[in-house]
Chains A and B, each alone.
Chain A
Amino acid sequence: GAVVSQHPSWVICKSGTSVKIECRSLDFQATTMFWYRQFPKQSLMLMATSNEGSKATYEQGVEKDKFLINHASLTLSTLTVTSAHPEDSSFYICSAFSDRNEQFFGPGTRLTVL
């Protein structure tokens, strides 16, 4: 299957700082990528749809000013958690939509906000 990478794989930061997470499709181009959040023992919750060259579409209840998404190329989407707080601590996972209409997921980024 196709490969999607995320960087960093884990990050610890102080409350109030901003954290950027990168999602790359390594061997295919993805006009659409998705960002999910997963709390312990829970399933994945879709946060937003990232479209190359246009604004992201956010799910209800997700603050677009807090979770900034940029999809500047067909292989890279970034999620920036601005002014992170402890309640933002979670496992963030991205996925990329292939031209076979199949989604491939990155390995996830564990964010811990102190």
Chain B
Amino acid sequence: KQEVTQIPAALSVPEGENLVLNCSFTDSAIYNLQWFRQDPGKGLTSLLLIQSSQREQTSGRLNASLDKSSGRSTLYIAASQPGDSATYLCAPVNQGGKLIFGQGTELSVKP
């Protein structure tokens, strides 16, 4: 059974810092991995999708890496802004399309 752990559980930083959010998963037989953000009381916004054959994906200030064999993914956020405040969720995906979510990292960026 896939289990996903995200570290840290919460993070509070001043604006402008570069951030690292970690995700580990127990079953490396994944099809791909997605990173999402969730604002309070809202649905999920897809940030990045990394195929299992890829090592990383970039979108603007976000960069996600994937080390499938060791069961790890990392989300880098450059030059953080208050608008980045949200909960960030990592979800490995199996071949049937099932996502298994971690508990998330709650990020607060202070102006």
Which residues of A pack against B, CB within 8 Å? 1, 6, 32, 34, 42-46, 49, 91, 93, 95, 97, 100-108, 110
In the complex the two chains form, is A46's CB within 8 Å of B98's CB?
yes
In the complex the two chains form, is B43's CB within 8 Å of A105's CB?
yes
In the complex the two chains form, is A44's CB within 8 Å of B97's CB?
no
Q: Which residues of chain A come closer than 8 Å to B41, judged between CB atoms?
A: 91, 108, 110
Which residues of B pack against A, CB within 8 Å? 31-32, 34, 36, 41-46, 49, 51, 89, 93, 96-104
Q: Which residues of chain B come closer than 8 Å to A93, judged between CB atoms?
A: 43-44
Q: Which residues of chain B come closer than 8 Å to A42, judged between CB atoms?
A: 103
Q: How far is the CA of A45 from the CA of B43 in the complex (A)?
A: 13
Given A43-B89, A93-B43, A110-B41, residue A103 in contact with residue B97 (CB < 8 A)? yes
In the complex the two chains form, is B99's CB within 8 Å of A34's CB?
yes
Quick one: which of A1, A43, A95 has the most chain B CB within 10 A? Answer: A43
Q: How far is the CA of A104 from the CA of B46 in the complex (A)?
A: 7
In the complex the two chains form, is A43's CB within 8 Å of B43's CB?
no
In the complex the two chains form, is A106's CB within 8 Å of B43's CB?
yes
Q: How far is the CA of A46 from the CA of B96 in the complex (A)?
A: 13
CB distance from A47 to the nearest CB of B (A): 11
Q: Which residues of chain B come closer than 8 Å to A91, judged between CB atoms?
A: 41
Q: How far is the CA of A107 from the CA of B34 in the complex (A)?
A: 17
In the complex the two chains form, is B89's CB within 8 Å of A102's CB?
no
In the complex the two chains form, is B32's CB within 8 Å of A101's CB?
yes
Starting from the known contacts A49-B96, A100-B49, A102-B49, 9 additional A-B residue pairs (CB-CB under 8 Å) come to A6-B43, A93-B44, A95-B44, A103-B34, A103-B99, A105-B44, A108-B41, A108-B43, A110-B41
Q: How far is the CA of A104 from the CA of B43 in the complex (A)?
A: 10
